[in-house]
Structure 1
Amino acid sequence: MRIIILVYIFFGMKTGVSIEALVNQCNNADSKCSDNSGRLFICNHKTLLNKQRISAVTYSVSRITEKISPIKRVRLTRNREEDKRRMETLLKQGDLVICPEGTTCREPYLLRFSLLFAEAADEVYPVALKTKAGMFYGTSTGLFKFFDHFYLLMNPWPEYEVKFLEKMSTRSMDGKSCTGFEAANHVQSEIGRVLGFGLTKLTMKYKYLMLAGNEGLV
């Protein structure tokens, strides 16, 4: 972690983090911050970079990216029951990050969120991520996904913004019970609202089929 932060500084990376919502929730006596179970952070997927000291589940990420990642990564299998079991196991060990879009989306839009995270935890902590590149953009639709890091850092003054949102329930909305689909759509809409991004029903599979003619496999 110390090395990667120095690398960001060397390349002129400007990082902004807004944690007011998270701090307020941790000060709440009923918050999960005080018990032994992990918190599930749900993020939109702008880049392969991440700076949290927690685990993350990934799918179809290059071995090089896994080796240079400053955080622990666990691969998903695309088997719903097995992936759900892995998520629940990781949450028992500590905090966990999930990007339910399934892949990066460079444009100001959100791909459809998978509902699997809503089945793995009763509460989630949405996190809105925004990058500003200006000149070079990473490409995750080609054969070399590990170049994602280098493309972003090649920009003269890359920026990375992180904003933690209010905790949300995956079991109820406005006092009424909800399905996993409804919870996933609600989390997507809240992150989109904060970022000013449009919402789509496109999944990772359709994105890759349109742009690369495959389903996103490495």
Structure 2
Amino acid sequence: MLQPELKQSNIMFPPISECNLSTINHRSIAADLDGTLLRGSFSFPYYVLMAIEAGSLLRGLILSLSIPIITIIFIFISEDLAGKLIIFITFTGIRINDIEFVSRAILPRFYAANVRQDSFEVFDSCERKVIVTANPVVMVDVFVKECLGGVKVIGTEIDVDPVTKRATGFVKEPGFLIGEWKKIAVEKEFGDDLPDIGIGDRESDYDFMSICKESYLVPRDHSASVLSPDRLKKQPIFYDDYLDQPPHPMLTYLWLPFRFVLSLFPAYFNLSIVEGIVKCTYTRRWSWL
């Protein structure tokens, strides 16, 4: 297997504000997602949403409680290992049909409420739009293609058991897509005709940005202007009992422990009611004898 060369990049890219849409070549672009096209660079809440909606509240709570361990691994050991651990806890044992349903029916609305206006305008100005992300492809593919107008997502591929149709929790080769792996994936996708524009927001994007004809850095700005939803290629439809304007995924993440505790009360009362009905029915039945 081809091993990427790990290195520190000192390449400096101009900010995306210096990108002149009237002069750039509009044929192709390779763009990161979190922190680049999305205003937030913290993707963990989206994994929690996936864990809850495709799995259970308990799975979401376990994933939330694991964040200190994941953070330590990310800082002191390996970003690759931290990403694989998040994917393992989120997806292992879940049916692929459930994962695809959440990715189509729930996640797009949360993503759509967090699209950066400045980077989207550059992305939308190009003809061939490709996303290069560490996120699992199955999580973002529908949103990217239907709402952002992207033609392809290059990302982490989760492994699915062909017999049970459930996620194993592991990822396919080459693994968690960061750093040099992004560069290799872009070269494989575009061949000799490399992207005209590359945009990213962090050092793990520098490798693929460095091979693009023009590259721009998206500065982290939590107050950056958000794209109006009516400018998306397609308005995401929300299902079930979600509000028309969903809360930020971070709020859903913070509310999770309370939601888990509160969910126990209806279950307790429902079981008590059922138990009472059964006892009453049983007593009345035998009272006629």
The two structures have a TM-score, normalised by structure 2, of 0.22
> So what's the TM-score if we normalise by structure 1?
0.26
The structure with the larger Rg is 2
